[in-house]
Amino acid sequence: MTSINNKYKRLLLSLICLNIMCFSFAQRDTDRLRFQFAIGVNNPIDAGENDGYYTKTLNLPTVNLGVQYMFTPQLGGKLDFGFNRAKSADGSEEFKLNYSRLNAQIVYDFSNVIGFLPESMSILAHAGPGLSFTKPLGNDSENKYTYLNGLIGIEIHYKLSRKLSIFGDVGYAKSFSGKNKYDTAIDGYSFNGDLVYGTIGISVALSGCRYCN
């Protein structure tokens, strides 16, 4: 009798372990990897040293591309690239600016914390360091900067299907460029400031998608 009980106990324990392993695998494989593409507007912000040069409040385009990997249903990371074009506002000296950035970020899903959200919606915060690359076009094209930034942002996702969602993203890239390399009066326009952007895009699951955003 004891032998039979031990046999069933071992069988039950084996089944429990198997279920735990299967559940863990499913958790790891659900919505682990996503590709994101978004377009929108931007506003470069400088410290006011570019006298006579200032951009429009909203500039087109902003294009963001990223890959997001979730280590757990709540915590993940992503690597993303952003391209932004800005133009001079009315009354400013004429110029165009290309601002590009590359950031490695931590992602946190607040959906479980905010209990009133429907299942089809989720809110994610993202933040991390990166590099900014700026280059004016035209006569000032040699006035380039490469500098560190710190980016923070928030995304709101709406699930269309198990693999596809649309999302809005608002982000702020803080400049850590240090001293200016160029004198506006002598060298012309340059930019090493902050950037605010807002985008709308799509997020596509590249792996299992049971808990897609």
Model pLDDT, residue 14: 56
26-33: average pLDDT: 57
* Segment 59-106, tens digit of pLDDT: 999 999 999 999 999 999 999 999 999 999 998 999 999 999 999 999
Tens-digit pLDDT profile for residues 147-185: 999 999 999 999 999 899 999 999 999 999 988 889 888
Q: Mean pLDDT over residues 37-56, rounded?
A: 87
Structural contact between residues 134 and 98, judged by C-beta atoms closer than 8 angstroms: yes
Tell me the residue type at 109. Answer: D
- Residue 20, pLDDT score: 43
Thinking of the domain 31-205, which architecture would CATH place it in?
Beta Barrel (2.40)
Q: What is the mean pLDDT of the chain?
A: 86
Q: Where are the domains of the chain?
A: 1-30, 31-205
* More confident of the two residues 184 and 1: 184
At 114, the pLDDT band (50, 70, 90 cuts) reads confident
Question: Is 89:55 a contact under the CB 8 Å cutoff?
Answer: yes
What integer pLDDT is reported at residue 189 of this predicted model?
93
Cβ–Cβ < 8 Å for 31, 210: yes
* pLDDT at res. 52: 84
DSSP code of residue 57: S
Give residues with Cβ within 8 angstroms of 58, minimum separation 6: 41, 42, 43
User: Alpha carbon of 165 to those of 54, 142, 172: distances in Å?
Assistant: 36, 41, 23
For residue 124, the Cα-to-chain-centroid distance in whole angstroms is 10
pLDDT of residue 13: 56
